[in-house]
Amino acid sequence: MFLIVGAGISGLILGYRLKKYRIPYLIIEKSEKPGGNIQTLSVEGRILELGPNTLLLRPHILTLIQELKLENEVLFASKYAKKRYILKENRYRALPINPFSLFFGSFFSPSTKIKILKDFLKKPNSNLSDNESIHDFFVRHFGLEVAELVVNPFVSGIYAGNSQKLITKYAFPTLIEAEKNIGSIIKGFIKYQKEHRSQGIISFKNGMHTLVQALYEVQRENILLNTTIERLDFGTNEHTVHLASGKNITAKNIIFTTPAHTTAKYIQSLSEPFAQQLKDIYYSPVCVVHSAYPKNKVKHKTDGFGALHPAKYDTFTLGTIFSSSVFDNRTNREEVLLTTFIGGQKFLPLSQQKIKEYTHKELSEYLGIEAEPLFTHVHIWEKAIPQYESNYAYILPYVHSWEEQGIYLSGNWLNGISVEKCIGFNAELAQKLASSVRE
């Protein structure tokens, strides 16, 4: 029997695939509902994403959607999703997305444009530091302007993290591959996009939770919700899991898909130093604020995916997704629904009222809003997103150490934080587990 701990997207995919391989398994989840970070709320006709808003429709995601018969639920992002605004000198400027606007527009200085052109001439380089931050990587390739104005806000849009601390090799390994194999980062990016062709940015008509619910429905008899582990006894052939309810479960294999700090607690008896390293993986806190305003009171265009704020401007919020522009069913046609993110430690001591107040102040300033919000909702993730920082150098060599004993580690702290990466990695892990059973 395979025991999976955690019913976020990682655990749900793992279970779903094991079911397809007809391998007996059980998922235990401490919360009352599955999904982990993927949570959608429906409030007064508005669809609010508390976690991920979108998913890239890569081939393996399309296959999953077809298997789950969710084709009619898929919602493609509108044409606006391609446009991104960046805060620059106190106003939102559209990020150039084609060569014409890049080279003939005024977003970048002439010296940055020359650095971008020179990138195409670069030769493969394998003499790379293992510990280079994503900030330093981009400064080296394109200069400080790109690193501060574009990379920093995009990285905080993805990780809610610090581009000076995230290590390129762990957080964005494809960039390292591009430099090693091609030299030019832009050519490498184009090649990656061709090879991993995405058919667009999607969500579902009723939000991202649709995917979770479908994965839950097809295996609900294999999932125990509201279930926690009291103690774990690892054996050589079999492991005993003592549940808080007093029941015991024995399993030959255990796969942890829980956050790193939770997994650390359970595997402490296997290696205390490794467990300590896992515990030390930093999870950035994130506050998600939904705000609805009357459409005719928002003076700035919301014709984009959203707007991001470079850290150098020291704003309260990291940026905002223009949710009702990306998916037009997120609220009624008279409103604009915005999803704003606040990261770092700054919101933690504040009351929800203050968070709403500061968010409204910033939205009003940059989007020219001349009304109070019709609706607001605040959700706090105290430990939202794992940061792939320098301690991964000590962690990664050990993650497979207990697989012969039937103990496997997974989850978004290991192989990428995006939903599509979690789906891809856990499908592969299920295949590996299935072949280990057959051998």
Binding site residues, ligand FAD, CB under 6 A? 5-11, 28-31, 36-38, 51-55, 228-229, 257-259, 262, 286, 288, 381, 384-385, 411-412, 417-420, 422
CB of 291 to ligand FAD, least distance (A): 16
Q: Which residue(s) pair with 369 in the sheet?
A: 298
Closest CB to ligand FAD among residues 331, 410? 410
Q: H helices of 218-286, where? A: 260-266, 272-279
CB of 224 to ligand FAD, least distance (A): 9
State the DSSP string of 134-186: HHHHHHHHH-HHHIIIIIHHHHHHHHSS-TTTSBHHHH-HHHHHHHHHTS-HH
d(CA 339, CA 326): 11
Closest CB to ligand FAD among residues 31, 405? 31
Q: Which residues contact 59 (CB under 8 A, 6 or more apart)?
A: 197
CB of 116 to ligand FAD, least distance (A): 27
CB of 132 to ligand FAD, least distance (A): 24
CB of 126 to ligand FAD, least distance (A): 30
Tokens standing for 162? Answer: 């610090």
Closest CB to ligand FAD among residues 148, 420? 420
Residue pair 348/355 in contact by the 8 Å Cβ criterion? no
Tell me which DSSP letter residue 36 carries: T
Closest CB to ligand FAD among residues 51, 364? 51
What letter represents residue 76's amino acid?
Answer: F
φ and ψ of 53, to 5 deg: -100, -30
| Kind and range of the H or E run holding 395 | helix 392-395
d(CA 78, CA 82): 9
Q: Tell me the C-alpha to C-alpha distance, in Å, between residue 171 and each of 2, 26, 175, 418.
A: 30, 31, 9, 11
CB of 140 to ligand FAD, least distance (A): 27
Closest CB to ligand FAD among residues 6, 15? 6
CB of 358 to ligand FAD, least distance (A): 18
Closest CB to ligand FAD among residues 51, 406? 51
Closest CB to ligand FAD among residues 36, 96? 36
Closest CB to ligand FAD among residues 161, 182? 161
d(CA 232, CA 328): 48
Tokens standing for 363? Answer: 């939205």
SS3 assignment, position 193: helix
Closest CB to ligand FAD among residues 6, 406? 6
CB of 211 to ligand FAD, least distance (A): 10
φ and ψ of 393, to 5 deg: -60, -30
| Kind and range of the H or E run holding 381 | strand 375-386
Residue pair 233/405 in contact by the 8 Å Cβ criterion? no
What letter represents residue 433's amino acid?
Answer: L
CB of 11 to ligand FAD, least distance (A): 6
